[in-house]
Structure 1
Amino acid sequence: MATYFVSQGHDEIPRWQEAFKDARLIRPDDLDARLVRGDCVWVMADVPEWPERVGELQRRGAAVGVMTYSPSAAEAFQALESGARAYVHALSPPELLRQARLVIMNQGIWVPPELMARVVGGAFQALGGAGRLRSEALAELTERERAVALAVMEGYSNKEVARRLDITERTVKAHLGAVFRKLGVRDRMQLVLRLSPTHEAIADTSQ
């Protein structure tokens, strides 16, 4: 499986080469003939109509990530909504780029920690927000665990949750860990999906 960087310019950044020895820098129009299902493709956010291209690559079976020089929560959410499985700063260290590729090649999602809370909040609102939570799943949690879970899903960081609920950040982490265990999820994004109405639809489709 090959690794490609799709860019309009000539972003021959040394750390990309250090991260992925076999990677090829390629222009958008040259990728179509080379792409094989299962390839890893990084699309620069300066490529015209990059969300549409990301969606097309995802439908063709590529593991797609988006790179940018100016990360933002709004753009990260747009990337994930378009079908990308990763959103990274183009100047990230090689080790971080390798980690992101490993995650997306194993069907995971990778977003910088400082943006993840905001992306989760955007996904939560897009799925209907607090008014559409699955009450039977919430019933498994204690009152304080529910408060922490809701604040996290609304897009607040652990530090912000601690301030809102007047508890320590360590306590937030402990409650969040308990929430993850009880609901069988690994991270914030899975928590949103687990408690949203789409969970049942996804479960039914997989049976």
Structure 2
Amino acid sequence: MSRQDAPVTVADGAGILWCRCRSQENLSSIMGALSISPTQIVVVLADEPGDAIIAEACGLGASGCCNSYAAPDVLRQVALVVENGGLWIGQSLLQRLVGSTSRALESRSEPVGETWSTLLSEREAQVAKRVAGGASNKEIADQLAITERTVKAHLSAIFEKLGVRDRLQLSLRINGVKL
């Protein structure tokens, strides 16, 4: 493999390894060639990011995946999220994961505890249930006849009251998964 064909990786001062995956490259080959330690934070920069490549990247140990051509502000956000132990995945994949988790948990035979609902207002509980079902902020706003900004305000309050940091943790909590 010539130097020009080698995967492009850049480690920043915070210890994040940024790994570029160009179109038509095999992500598992690239990740395997890097000899990454389990504690190394890796973010894949994909020329054509989609749910499949993002899921594959995370399955191979990456903490996130975003577009190779993302703006510097977005890359700073990615770095902040993954440095704090979070995952950076696309909105559509997050919604699919939350929705499938919700459906899988609904099929469980034992009842799901509802103690979380006593901590929330009626409207916050409505928003939380819709998030747990995989709805986007826009979908929730349309369903409840409120603005997206109001949905975001409710989510901030919900996150604080329930001690969760993101939509995935909220969905897991609502669906009875112990965090």
Give the drift of 1:180: 1.1
- Cα distance, 1:96–1:106 mapped onto 2, change above 3 Å: same
Is the Cα contact below 8 Å between 1:40 and 1:64 reproduced in 2? yes
CA drift of 1:163 comes to: 0.8
Indicate whether 1:101 and 2:75 are aligned.
no
For normalisation by structure 1, the TM-score amounts to 0.62
CA distance in 1, matches of 2:140, 2:35: 37
1:187/1:169 Cα in 2 relative to 1: closer, same or farther (>3 Å)? same
Gaps of 5+ in 2: none
> Aligned residues, how many?
168
Q: Please name the residue that 1:50 is paired with.
A: 28
Contact conserved, 1:42 with 1:65, CA < 8 A, in 2? yes
For 2:4 and 2:173, locate their aligned partners in 1 and report how far apart those are by CA, in whole Å: 39
Equivalences for residues 71-82 of structure 1 within 5 A: 71-82=49-60
Partners of 1:68 and 1:90 within 8 A in 2: yes
Distance 2:160 2:7 in 1: 43
Give CA deviations for 1:176-205 in whole Å, capped at 9, x if unaligned: 222112101222122123334442xx5xxx
- Secondary structure of the equivalent of 1:87? strand
| Map 1:174-193 → 2, pairs under 5 A | 174-193=153-172
Gaps (5+ residues) in structure 1?
1-6, 24-37, 203-207
Structure 2-normalised TM-score?
A: 0.70
Indicate conservation of the 8 Å contact 1:66/1:86, yes or no: yes
Task: For residues 76-110 of structure 1, give each alpha carbon's deviation from its aligned partner in whole angstroms, at most 9, with x where no partner exists.
Answer: 34433443211110011234324423432332222
Name the CA distance, whole Å, in 2 between partners of 1:127 and 1:52. Answer: 30
Give the 4+ runs in structure 1 shifted more than 4 A. Answer: 56-59
Aligned CA RMSD, in angstroms, stands at 3.5
The sequence identity of aligned pairs, in percent, is: 33
Cα shift readout 1:150-193 (whole Å, capped 9, x = no counterpart): 22233322112111222222322222222112101222122123
Equivalences for 1:41-190 in 2 at 5 Å?
41-44=18-21, 46-50=24-28, 53=31, 60-111=38-89, 115-116=90-91, 118-129=92-103, 131=106, 133-190=112-169
Secondary structure of residue in 1 paired with 2:19: strand
